[in-house]
Every structure is written in C-alpha cells, then in structure tokens.
Amino acid sequence: MRKETYLPPIIDIENLGLDAGVHLLVKYGLRAIPPGGELRVVGSSPSWEAQLAAWCRAQGHGVSMQQQDGRAVATVIRGAADAGRWHGAAHAGHSDAALAGAVADQALSSWGLAARGATVEAGAPDFHFRLDRKDEIWADTAAALYAQAVAAQWNPATAIDWNEPFDLPAAVEDAVAQLMTYLIENEVAALVVPARFLGQVHPHFREIQALLAIQVADEARHIEVFTRRLRLKGREPALSTAGGQASLKTLLDEPDFSVASFLLSVLGEGTFVSLLNFLHLHAPDPVTRQIARLTARDEARHVAFGMSHLLWRLQQEPQFRTRLANAVQSRNDALANTAGLNEEVFDALILIAAGEFTPQAIAAGYVRVQQLIGDMAEGRRIRLERLGFDKEAALHLAALHTRNFM
C-alpha cells in the first residue's frame, strides 16, 4: 500500500479554485489531524473563500475566515468522521469473504450495486434482488471454484483438432448426430437455469454471481462444440422428444435456487458427467473423444458448486433435506406418464459404444450402456449420501431420478 504524504498545517492553494481539484489538498491535509483539529488555508483566486466554505459545509467541517497581513486566511476545523455527506452511511461487509462477518446473512436493498466492503452513502435508491439471503445461495468454495473455472477456460477453435481425419460407418455417424442433438437441448436447459437466477442474486454475493456467469459461459461453449460435431460430417439435428422436453421443463419451472441446484447440478449434471466420461471412453472418433473430455471437466465443476452450496444450506437448515427429497418425488410424479429417455438416444449410445454395425459389437455396446446406467445411479447415490441422506433413502431417490438423465 502506498504511504500517504500528509501536508503541513498551512496550505496555500495559490490562484486555483476548489473547482479545479484543489479540494484534494484540503482533504488530505485534514487527514493528518484528528477531529477538532485545525488546518489553515490561504489562496488568491477569486471566490476561493466561498468555494471552500461550501465544500466544508458539505463535508461536515467547520470553517472561519480572518484577515492576516492583508490577505484572507481560512481556518478549517475537522469535523467528526460521520458528519456531512457520510452521515448515515453504511458499511456493506468486507471484500475478503474469508474474514469473519465479511459476508452478511442478509444483504440490504439499500446497498444496491455497491462493491462488498464499500461505504454506501445514505439516500441511494433501493435495489430489490430476490436472492438476498446468504443461506439461500452461498457456498464456501465459490471463489476457489471460480478461480479454477477461469484457469480452465478453453477455446473450441483451438482446444479441439477439428481436422483430425476419421470416417465412421453411416449408422454410427447418425448415432453421434442423435446423441449430439440430445446433448444440445440438455445443455440449453443447463444454461437457462443458472442464467435465470443470475440476475436475481444480490451483488453482495459476488462470488456466486461470478460462478453462475462462468457456468452460463461454459454451457454456451458446450452447445457450440456439440453443434459443430453434429454438423462436422454434414448431418443436421435429429430427434427431440416430448418426454425429454417435459423433463427439462421441470428444471426451468423450479423457483427455488437450492432445489434447482439439487435437481440440475447434483442429480442431472452429475449424471451427465458419467455420460460424458462414457463417451470419452467409447467415442468412435477422436473429435468426439476430445469434446467429451473437455465438457466433462466443466460439468464436474458445476456439480462441485451444487454440492458445496447444498452442504452449506443443509448445515444451516438440516430440515431442508426433506424438501429436496420431496422435489425428487414430485418431479418423478410429474413425469410418470412421459416416455422417459428418447429411444433413439438409447440406441445411439449402444451404437456408439459398439463402434460398428455387427451383432457382436452391438451386443457388447448394449452391455456397456447397461453398465453406464448402473454407474449413473451409483454416482447419484454417493452424492446423496454425502448430502446426509441415509443409504436406503439415497438408493430410493437415485432410482427416482428422471430417465432422461438430466
């Protein structure tokens, strides 16, 4: 931090007025003395005395004028720290979230868009953000996850070798196009949900804002690469089912941030990490393999944020676990009459895992997809137990998760 140089108790502002920045000399001169202390000011510009008197009144300082040796001398008496325009100002926490009490339990609407830690002058307009309570949105790992996300950003144009040669059987390439179509619409939902909450978060919780913003950017990038892979061999998007759309709509309709994070990130994106890891392992071509690896890494970070937030909220409000369980059951009930996973997507996964259109390869692909579904459910169970559900409840809720995966 730069050391301040304090001015002597007599300041000559010469022929400059306070409208030319001279108030800074007076301000810094006053910082060198305690409240009640005096600072003398002399000058020669027209009306400097009136300008100084007006400035002192606005800042809460006293001032008197005398004549000395034929020239005006102002004596400024430093006012109390809370006088003048800063009377009634509020401190909006502290910029370092690691400090005790730095992040308020309830962010005030009067803090508006001010940086956390700022001194907020009274009289500013109120800004009403729906998500203004720490227990509704906070995660202790948010700053660290944001830093990881920034460091892990990748450029689709250069991170993937789009020109690497490969040639798949037509049926397998069609399967890739179908899977990419499915991934795109699910990633659109994974973009819209955090984007919808982003504008509702009070800026006091800037780490959450930043993490949601970069999560939205991640999903936009995923949509780009899935679309580019789909079209790489001249295909267009394939089938989008009513059941898949219905499943995703339940995510968009959820108004509670914590419940939405649970359904989307912990259960949905957690399941998608398993899917993308499967795709990386069994990808029929090098481009798809690269895409799966990069997107899985991003999705794992989204899951980590959802888990961290829910662990925080459940620590503050253990009974909220019941609401999470009810949300899974309600979603299952709402989707009971839908077809679940697009049959074309299931078949596409088998073909992709098979790699070729032969009976032996198809049989092996089918077994691998069944193993994937089991791995997905087991991953959900593990995450649910980490959130404090007992093993029986975790098994039950893991099985109730939408058949559409997301």
| pLDDT at residue number 45 | 85
Distances (CA, A) of 282 to 54, 354, 356: 76, 8, 12
Task: State how many domains the chain has.
Answer: 3
Q: Clarify whether residues 176 and 281 are in a common domain.
A: yes
Residue ranges making up the domain that contains 33: 10-77
Count the alpha carbons within 13 Å of 165 in the hemisphere toward its beta carbon.
Answer: 0
**Is residue 98 included in any domain, yes or no?**
yes
**β-strands 62-68, 71-77: how paired?**
antiparallel
CA nearest neighbour of 252 among 298, 205, 185: 185
**Is residue 117 included in any domain, yes or no?**
yes
Integer-rounded Cα radius of gyration of the chain: 31
Q: How many CB atoms lie within 10 A of CB 195?
A: 15
C-alpha–C-alpha distance, residues 242 and 386, integer Å: 33
**β-strands 119-120, 62-68: how paired?**
unpaired
**Is residue 367 included in any domain, yes or no?**
yes
C-alpha–C-alpha distance, residues 5 and 280, integer Å: 61
**Is residue 1 included in any domain, yes or no?**
no
Q: Clarify whether residues 143 and 58 are in a common domain.
A: no
**Is residue 5 included in any domain, yes or no?**
no
Q: Clarify whether residues 48 and 188 are in a common domain.
A: no
**Is residue 369 included in any domain, yes or no?**
yes
Among 56, 77, 98, which residue terminates a domain?
A: 77
**Is residue 359 included in any domain, yes or no?**
yes
**β-strands 10-12, 38-42: how paired?**
parallel
Among 63, 96, 128, which residue terminates a domain?
A: 128
DSSP label at residue 76: E
DSSP, collapsed to helix, strand or coil, labels residue 134 as helix
Q: Clarify whether residues 96 and 157 are in a common domain.
A: no
C-alpha–C-alpha distance, residues 94 and 68, integer Å: 47
CA nearest neighbour of 209 among 197, 219, 218: 197
| pLDDT at residue number 81 | 61
Q: Clarify whether residues 183 and 270 are in a common domain.
A: yes
Q: Clarify whether residues 254 and 308 are in a common domain.
A: yes
| Whether 205 contacts 137, CB under 8 Å | yes
CATH code assigned at 156: 1.10.620.20
Q: Clarify whether residues 237 and 274 are in a common domain.
A: yes
* CA 244 distance to own-chain centroid: 26
Q: Where are the alpha helices (DSSP H) in 104-241?
A: 134-137, 142-151, 156-159, 170-198, 206-231
pLDDT averaged per 10 residues in sequence order, the chain, 406 residues? 57 84 87 88 88 89 87 88 70 92 96 95 92 96 96 98 96 96 97 98 97 98 98 96 92 97 97 97 97 98 98 97 97 85 90 91 95 96 98 96 85
Q: Clarify whether residues 114 and 36 are in a common domain.
A: no
3-state class percentages of the chain: helix first, strand second, coil last, to nearest 5: 60, 5, 35
Q: Clarify whether residues 201 and 250 are in a common domain.
A: yes
Q: Clarify whether residues 51 and 159 are in a common domain.
A: no
Among 128, 159, 193, which residue terminates a domain?
A: 128
Q: Clarify whether residues 118 and 30 are in a common domain.
A: no
Burial of 217 (C-beta count, 10 Å sphere; 0-12/13-18/19+) = middle
Q: Clarify whether residues 199 and 304 are in a common domain.
A: yes
**Is residue 203 included in any domain, yes or no?**
yes
| pLDDT at residue number 82 | 53
CATH code assigned at 61: 3.30.110.40
